[in-house]
Amino acid sequence: MRKIAIIGGGQAGLLLAFSLLENKYDVTLYVDRPADELLHGRMVSTTMFFANTLEFERKLGLNFWDGKAHHGQAIHVDFRGPDGSIALPLTGFLHENKGIAMDQRTKYQRWLEEYPRRGGKLVLQNVSPEDLEQIAAENDLTILAAGKGNITSLFKRNESRSVHQTPPRKLAAALVVGDDLCGPQSWQGQPSQTLHFNFVAGAGEYFSMPFYSHTHGPCRSFLFECVPNGPMDIFDDVSNGEEMMQRMKEAVAKVTPDQSFRMADNMELSDPNAWLKGAFRPEVRDPVATLANGAKIWGIGDTVIVNDPIAGQGANNATRMVEHYLQAILAHGDQAFSADWMQNVFEQFWNESGRYTTDFTNLLLNPPSESLLQVLGAASQNQVIADDFMGHFNNPRGFWPAVDGEAGAKEYLSRKEFQHAAA
C-alpha cells in the first residue's frame, strides 16, 4: 500500500485525504488544531462553494449540509461610480451552477470528525520544516496543503506568474444575523437567495451573501475588499466584533448611499468570533519544494496558488486541484513520485485551469476594460447572456473568450444562442 502524507486539514488537504483513503492509499493527515478548537475559533473566510465543488464533495459522501444550507440562486452586481451611483446593474441566475456559501469552520470540524471514522490516520502536529524531512522519509509522497501558513514559504514564488508586489485589497468580513438579513427575501428588491455584489470605482467591492454557519444556521456574510487608502479603507483600527459591525454600516452608507440599510439596525454578529480583517499578497509558487535534506515535497491549494478572494475561487480552485492531482496519482500506479512528475502534473493543471482562475481574479481587481464593459452591458440587457456569464464562476475557464480583449468579447457576443434569445 502506498504511503502518502498530507499536511494541513483544509479544503485541499481534507478532500485529497478522503479521496486517497477511498482509493486504498495509506494516508496520514497532519492538522495543527483539534476540530473543536477550530469550530470555536475565529472565522477564516466567507466562502462560496460552487456546483462542481459541491458535486465532488457529494461523491465522497461529505455533503452533510444538503437540505440545511440554502443554495445561492443568483448573482446581482451593481457597478458603481466613485459617488456610489449605479452605472450598470446586472443579475445572472446560476441555474445548475449554483452553490452554497458556508463557514469553513463548520465544514472542516465535521470532516475532521469523519476522517478517523473512515479509517484515516490523523496526527495533531504543527508541522515544522524539520518535521517535514522525517515525514518525507517515511512516505512515498508528501503533500503540503497548509493554506496561508508560514510553512508555505518553502515554495518559491514564481515571478512570471505572480503580478502583485503588495496586497491589492485590505479585507474585512463578518457573519451577521437579524430581521430581514436572513431568509428568502433578505435584500431589498432582489430575487430570493441572491449573492449581492457591489463594485465601487476607487473604493473596492463589497459582497453580501446568504450564508450558513454552525452557530445560527442561516445567516448573512459581508466581505469588504478595500482599495488601500481608498474611501472604504476604514477597518484598520477595528479591534472587536462590535467595532467591526459599526464600521461595516459606515462603509455601506459611504459607498452605496442608496442602500438605506434599514436591515442593519438590528443586525448582530452570528457569534463573537465571526469577523476577520487582514491583507495578503496573492501569488503563484513553484509546485515542488526541496527540503534541507534534499527530499522533494509537493504543494496543493493556496500553498501554491493563492488569489485574492474577489472572485470567490480559492476553495473552488483547491478542489479542482485535488481532482486533478488525484487522477494523476491514481494513473501513476507504483512508479516513483519524482520532482519532474510533480512539476508536470502541476503544469498541466495550471494550463488547463489554474491560470484562468488566476487571470480572471486579477482582472476583477482592475477597472473593467472597454471590451469587458461591452459584455457586461449586453448581459444587463439580455438574461441569457447574464446567466451564461455568471455561470462561469463555477469554472472560470468558461469566461474565455468573453474576457479576452476586444476580439474575444466580439466572438462571445456573436454566439448563436445569444442572437436567438435576443430575437
Ligand X SMILES: Cc1cc2nc3c(=O)[nH]c(=O)nc-3n(C[C@H](O)[C@H](O)[C@H](O)COP(=O)(O)OP(=O)(O)OC[C@H]3O[C@@H](n4cnc5c(N)ncnc54)[C@H](O)[C@@H]3O)c2cc1C
Verify binding: residue 147, ligand X, rule CB under 6 A.
Answer: yes
Give the distance from CA 422 to its chain's centroid.
33
Question: Smallest gap, in angstroms, from Cβ of residue 96 to ligand X?
Answer: 18
- State which residue, 45 or 358, has the beta carbon closest to ligand X: 45
Q: Rounded distance, CA 297 to CA 289, Å?
A: 5
Verify binding: residue 142, ligand X, rule CB under 6 A.
Answer: no
Verify binding: residue 97, ligand X, rule CB under 6 A.
Answer: no
Question: Smallest gap, in angstroms, from Cβ of residue 307 to ligand X?
Answer: 7
Residue in 316, 353, 357, 361 binding ligand X, rule: CB under 6 A: 316
Verify binding: residue 12, ligand X, rule CB under 6 A.
Answer: yes
Q: Record the cell numbers describing residue 78, joined without a space.
A: 451593481
Q: Rounded distance, CA 110 to CA 101, Å?
A: 16
- State which residue, 107 or 385, has the beta carbon closest to ligand X: 107
- Residues 318 and 199 sit within 8 Å (Cβ to Cβ): no
Verify binding: residue 54, ligand X, rule CB under 6 A.
Answer: no
Of 40-48, 58-66, 237-245, 250-258, the window that binds ligand X (rule: CB under 6 A) is 40-48
Q: Rounded distance, CA 189 to CA 417, Å?
A: 29
Looking at 53-168, which runs of residues are DSSP E strands?
A: 74-80, 86-93, 100-102, 121-124, 141-144
DSSP annotation of 262 reads G
Query: CA nearest 10: which of 152, 208, 207, 212?
Result: 152
Verify binding: residue 13, ligand X, rule CB under 6 A.
Answer: yes
Question: Smallest gap, in angstroms, from Cβ of residue 408 to ligand X?
Answer: 25
- State which residue, 174 or 255, has the beta carbon closest to ligand X: 174
Give strand pairing partners of 204: 200, 226
The burial of 77, by beta-carbon neighbours within 10 Å (0-12 exposed, 13-18 middle, 19 or more buried), is given as buried
Residues 6+ apart with CB under 8 A from 273: 40, 41, 42, 43, 241
- Residues 195 and 77 sit within 8 Å (Cβ to Cβ): no
Verify binding: residue 171, ligand X, rule CB under 6 A.
Answer: yes
- State which residue, 164 or 415, has the beta carbon closest to ligand X: 164
Question: Smallest gap, in angstroms, from Cβ of residue 207 to ligand X?
Answer: 8
Q: Record the cell numbers describing residue 380, joined without a space.
A: 444587463
Query: CA nearest 151: which of 320, 297, 349?
Result: 297
Q: Rounded distance, CA 405 to CA 385, Å?
A: 17
Size of the site for ligand X (CB under 6 A): 37
Residue in 73, 88, 110, 149 binding ligand X, rule: CB under 6 A: 149
Q: Scanning the structure block, which residue is given the C-alpha cell 436572513?
A: 182
Pick out residues in 374-413 that bind ligand X (CB under 6 A).
none
Residue in 75, 318, 364, 409 binding ligand X, rule: CB under 6 A: 318
Question: Smallest gap, in angstroms, from Cβ of residue 226 to ligand X?
Answer: 12
Give strand pairing partners of 362: none
Verify binding: residue 269, ligand X, rule CB under 6 A.
Answer: no
Of 44-52, 56-64, 70-78, 384-392, the window that binds ligand X (rule: CB under 6 A) is 44-52
Mind giving me the DSSP string for 303-316? GTEE--GGGS-HHH
- State which residue, 316 or 371, has the beta carbon closest to ligand X: 316
Pick out residues in 350-379 that bind ligand X (CB under 6 A).
none
Q: Scanning the structure block, which residue is given the C-alpha cell 483544509?
A: 10
Question: Smallest gap, in angstroms, from Cβ of residue 344 to ligand X?
Answer: 21
Q: Scanning the structure block, which residue is given the C-alpha cell 464600521?
A: 247
Verify binding: residue 145, ligand X, rule CB under 6 A.
Answer: yes
Verify binding: residue 299, ligand X, rule CB under 6 A.
Answer: no
Of 11-19, 56-64, 368-376, 409-417, the window that binds ligand X (rule: CB under 6 A) is 11-19
Q: Which secondary structure element, helix H or strand E, spans residue 223, and what is its range?
A: strand 217-226
Verify binding: residue 326, ligand X, rule CB under 6 A.
Answer: no
Of 247-255, 315-323, 374-382, 413-421, the window that binds ligand X (rule: CB under 6 A) is 315-323
Please report, as ranges, the residues that interact with ligand X according to CB under 6 A: 7-13, 30-33, 45-48, 104, 126-127, 145-149, 151, 171, 173, 223, 301-303, 309, 312-316, 318
